Amino acid sequence: MTPTTPKTKPILFLVIHKQPRDRILIKINGRGCESNVGRVGGQQLLNLGKGCHTFDNMVHELGHSLGLLHTMKTRSGGFHNWD
């Protein structure tokens, strides 16, 4: 018996509520990439302005809206030994 690698595709799950309490509104507007860090409650704006339309920038700002900080804001001060 040989192991097989399943061919998978990403699946996107959308949960639609008539009145969602919390949501992230993504706008493509003006300049700059910005989002609050962490849950603010209610509608939360994530802006992807001019120059922010790369996959990396989008994931970066979405990470902020989910509560992720930059490593220099952590107790380790951004020091990581990647080797």
Distance CA 36, CA 44 (A): 7
Per-residue pLDDT of 13-58, as tens digits, reads: 677 777 768 888 888 887 888 888 888 888 888 888 888 888 888 8
60 has a pLDDT exceeding 70: yes
Q: Which of 35, 46, 52, 61 is catalytic?
A: 61
The three-class DSSP label of residue 44 is strand
- Is residue 79 very low, low, confident or very high in pLDDT (cuts 50, 70, 90)? low
| Tokens of residue 56, six digits | 């990396």
Domain assignments of the chain as residue spans, ordered by start? 23-72
pLDDT of residue 73: 58
61 is catalytic: yes
